[in-house]
Amino acid sequence: MGDVLALVEARLRTTLGEPDARAAVTFLGTDRIEVLRFMDGDIVRYATLGMSATPMADPTAALADPVKGPRAELVLSVRAGLADTDKVLRPLAVLAASPQVEGLVVAPGASLDVGGPLWPGAPFSSVLVAEAGGLVEDLELAGPMDPVRFLPLLPMTANEAARKRVKGAQELQERWLSHGTDLRDPLRAGVPLD
């Protein structure tokens, strides 16, 4: 477990630079989850560290495989200085702990909800999990372990989350694209859904 997390942190540092802050959260019955903060000009990136320590298991499986199975970490990118986004650390840790706590397999196209604003005043309480490989490349591990995927999180308003449930992730992403939505704006309004 420690070896995997050391490799994950090295990949994050190689890609995003040195973190300028980190916080750790431990939930009862789960492993420790850290959230690292990286500054890149006017963009602040938050990356989880700890979710990939063990593979995510299918909740219907009789036994969880301790070696094989999907592994992931979460990455959120927002514009710095527009909102108190550093308060997203605990909600991100909650999302990263969800495979251990709820038996979820977090994958692209999934919606994750934290039950409250991602940060104070945020119009978002949920995120869309996007495809990996864009910002941080997958981290190959020694076989038979699956690679660690770094999954971007795209904040969604309540209306966008409802639309995604009805029409699917692809339709919502196309709508964002066609409207030129700045998904890194921590104060953005929801995309028109009519």
- Write down the pTM of the prediction: 0.94
Burial 122-142 (b: 16+ CB within 10 A, else e): bbbbbbbbbebeeebeebebe
CB within 8 Å of 179: residues ≥ 6 apart: 191, 192
- Strands (DSSP E) contained in 56-96 are 71-79
CB within 8 Å of 60: residues ≥ 6 apart: none
The pLDDT tens digits along the chain (194 residues) read 569 999 999 999 999 999 999 999 887 777 889 999 999 999 999 999 999 999 998 766 666 677 888 999 999 999 999 999 999 999 999 999 999 888 889 999 999 999 999 999 999 999 999 999 889 999 999 888 999 999 999 999 999 999 999 999 999 999 999 999 999 999 999 998 87
Contacts of the segment 10-17: beta carbons below 8 A, 24+ positions apart:
11/136, 11/137, 11/139, 11/148, 11/150, 12/36, 12/38, 12/47, 12/49, 12/73, 12/136, 12/150, 15/135, 15/136, 15/137, 16/40, 16/45, 16/47, 16/135, 16/136
